[in-house]
A and B are shown apart, each in its own frame.
Chain A
Amino acid sequence: MQPRSSSNSTLSGSEWTLDDLLTIEQMCASHAQRYALDTFPNQMEVITSEQMLDSYVSSGLPVNYGHWSFGKQYLIESGKYRAGANALAYEIVINTNPCIAFLMEGNSLAMQTLVIPHACFGHNSFSKGNYLFTQWTQPDAVLDYMLFARNYIADCEERHGAAHVEQTLDALHALRDQGLDKYKRPRKLDTRKERAEQAKRLSNAQEAMRQGEYYSVVPHAVKSADAAPTFPKEPEENLLYFIEKHAPKLEPWQRELARIVRKIAQYFYPQRQTQVMNEGWATFWHHRLINDMYEAGQIDQGILLECLHSHTNVIRQLDYGQLNPYALGFTAWNEIKRVCESPTDEDREFLPGIAGKDWLETFHDVMRNYRDESFLLQFLTPKLVRDFRLMNIKTSEGLDHWTVSDTAGAEGFKAVRTQLAASHRLESYLPEMSVMRYGRDSDRKLVLQHQSYNGRLLLGDEAEQSLKHLRWLWGFDVTLEAVDENGKTLKSY
């Protein structure tokens, strides 16, 4: 392949070839160098709309195990797409090394000119640099791991029956959000080690079973119930981990499935916490790189205008609607640049740490070391709050209205900033649950607790059905209690 030389020809029109995409990527790379954007090598994959729907259902992962819920998601998404209710994403990118970016075949040349810098340089550099990604995910290993998971699950279906595997996965999926290590850093994914250890775990289990037969005839010293220490010693937040290690009745292969489901859930943990930052960062850089390409005469005005048209659509914010993470993120990064380059007195007061500093250095530092919550808490400027005309509203159970508690302005700024940042914590929309007690030596009952804040409870119907799944996995009684900040039980399930 001989890409067009980037120096002496200008891209124009709307048709493109595979070579053009490489040309765009190379042009972006040369500009990105000036901003020290550090990226994984790019692997751009051209896909059809049908394949884009495939990627949707597996969260962008090119390999996934088989399960009906992915088929369901596909039916729903393709139905919406065919009915014209939803447009498809122009690109999907996940943090792998090399960084795989899916580009739709239906995109015009201008759209490709927009999405390549967005995905291949924006998201790519973010996932290579941001601490959550570097500490919590292994871009080199994830594809191998997914392949391992797919084969293992297919193998299980063959050996233990598709229906049994499906039922186990159904139950595990219900607990997916409770399969996260939120504080303790998870172990690195390593397929080879995973396979070796899996074999060891299986043989250990068999050994234990064999020994159990001998021990069962040896009389145990009778322990009194109250003398038994509570187990676990500390509450365990990772429900799936606890099930994998301690569920009394699960087969070894079912424990392995629990492990796979929680490993994959864990992999997407950083994504969920950096949406505003990540999208804002990618939007900032596509905007920048497109303008650079135009100034260097590498793309013509038609492409620039079409790009800007799409760009403004992407960052459109509807009044009183949900906050658009692209709009919020893009503006927040631009604000950081402004505060660095030409701070006002107000900025010096609220953001003394970055006012007047080198913008590019600040950018890289912020990109590497923050997530949405801390990012907004640290770098939201009073000007942004005013420009977005943000306001805080509050409500509580039984009220049929919201009450405005703070508005943009000098007195409301800090409250708006605090609440906006807090709403980007995972815990603000995922219930915090933990395992409190497991009657290991008595009735094997599992006691769970939902730490309820501000009186918020679980969606009853969903919780009951999820519990049903959990009880099936556990094999013994499971109880769940919602407990408030003062330790008072609000509800038992």
Chain B
Amino acid sequence: MSSVIVDRRPERGKSTANRQRVLKRLEGALRAQVDQMIARRKLGEHDKSADIEIDRKDVKEPRFLLDSKTGAHGRTLPGNVDYRVGDKIPRDSPQGRGAGSGPGAGDSEQEDMFRFALSREEYLSLLFDELELPPLIKKDLLEIDENRFRRGGVVRHGNPGTVCVARTFKASIGRRVAAEAHFAEALDAAEAALRVARSSAVPAQVQVAEWELKEVRRRSADIPFLDPIDMRHRSLVEVQSPRTAAVMFCLMDVSASMNEARKDLAKRFFTLLYLFLSRKYAKVELVFIRHTDEAQEVDEETFFNGAQSGSTKVLSALTKMREIMDLRYPPSRYNVFGAQASDGDSFGQDSSASCAYLLSELLPFSRYFVYAEVGETASESGSLWTAYSGIASEQFNMATLTARNEVYPALAKLFKKEQPA
């Protein structure tokens, strides 16, 4: 057998199965890191791969190894210019350290941590696992929705896989019928010419006429059954999925009663909502409005992490939203979504005033507005909830969130009406 060369490059993904195995084994450690990342990452960043750091202890594979700290042993080192027999080299000098690591010194010499990147899909599926998304929804979110192909009729060029047999044969028959008609005429003419030549009895003319008749017969037999010009292909055209601009207003109560756990729930709520919206719209802009008794537009960092104290006035946030909408996101050009998270505390006239404002000033211009009451004690009896529950609008819905695994059911409930859209 002689030497051969093989191009293996197209065969990819040999390690995928083993990668899944080790990720499964690391699930606990990964989950902890993803949890931290959810707190740290911005809403728009969740759709990316994630760098992970793992302690080697978590995936230790023990072996019987010799302990380099025990017993007497010797080594042979190169490059000696400084030392003579009997000299002492401290173990922690550069030379001594070089001597310290030998073959089989084992894991103890290696770094304690190792780093790798979780792909976007792996990251999101860890994120979704906690939210207990149903499989189909998870699949929908994990898949990047690219432009789809639709049938676009029949064309003359394409690759062999797309040949449309019926149309090709139709074209072939048509061409052959046309060509044969032409040859039938030529044949008649040639036969007539031969008859004329025979009647004239000039041998040279007969010979020429016979040759011509033969030639016409040969050419007519040469009409190909299939010709390249017969080929017809099914064409596929890329159809852009209908996406337009959307803006998502995140409204959150940051008064003292909103503790870290509640904010964490709210963040997960906003994150998942954002991911849903970013599936549907090419570009989703985010606006963060936090409020106590007065509302401020802030950046994401401040929104989730900034501390503020004060009482609660929901109306302030709603008017702020309207203000920004008028200024920067005209509903004629944007699909406006509102998401409000609060622990449900509001006082006095605020609840009913907010409700009225929402009904008259916001809902007519919004695609959808959702309200989530967060907190371990969230119930359907808070003052804001009671006020909002009077709203009977197609574009409004609300839910309570007390634990992480309720985020998805709540959102699913919120979007139930939205489904056909």
Contact = CB atoms under 8 A, between A and B. Distances in A.
Given A68-B25, A405-B85, A430-B104, A53 B72 contact: no
A429 B103 contact: yes
A29 interface: yes
B79 A320 contact: yes
B79 A79 contact: no
Contact of B88 (A69, A177, A403): A403
B63 A396 contact: no
Interface in A369-425: 388-397, 399-408, 412, 416, 419-420, 423
Interface string B13-34: 0110111111111000000000
B91 A395 contact: yes
Given A45-B8, A177-B63, A455 B72 contact: yes
Contacts of A74: 15, 18-19, 22
A98 B60 CA distance: 36
Contact of B6 (A43, A403, A450): A43
A459 B74 contact: no
A455 B68 CA distance: 11
Given A71-B19, A322-B101, A457 B71 contact: yes
B89 interface: yes
B67 interface: yes
Interface in B97-128: 98-99, 101-108, 114-117
A18 B9 CA distance: 12
Interface string A63-104: 000111111101110111011000000000000001000100
A403 B92 CA distance: 13
B78 A452 contact: no
B5 A18 contact: yes
Contact of B102 (A170, A389, A401, A429): A429
A51 interface: yes
Contact of B60 (A75, A390, A465): A465
A390 B80 contact: yes
Interface in A450-466: 450, 452-463, 465-466
A487 to B, nearest CB: 17
A466 B63 contact: yes
Contacts of B15: 50, 53-54, 57, 70-71, 74
A429 B66 contact: yes
A54 B77 CA distance: 33
B74 A405 contact: yes
B80 A176 contact: no
Contact of B79 (A83, A389, A456): A389
Contacts of B17: 66, 71
Contacts of B19: 71, 74-75
Contact of B67 (A396, A419, A457, A468): A457
A40 to B, nearest CB: 9
B191 to A, nearest CB: 54
A419 B74 contact: yes
A401 B99 CA distance: 11
A404 B8 contact: no
A412 B3 CA distance: 48
Please name the 10 residue pairs, one residue from A and one from B, whose CB atoms are nearest each other, closest first.
A319-B79, A429-B104, A71-B18, A456-B71, A455-B71, A71-B22, A396-B72, A465-B62, A68-B21, A42-B3
20 contacts: A54-B14, A71-B15, A75-B54, A76-B114, A170-B61, A174-B64, A322-B101, A390-B76, A392-B76, A395-B74, A402-B88, A403-B89, A419-B75, A419-B76, A423-B76, A423-B102, A430-B104, A431-B65, A459-B108, A465-B62
Given A317-B79, A404-B86, 7 more contacts: A50-B12, A68-B25, A71-B18, A391-B80, A401-B88, A430-B66, A463-B65
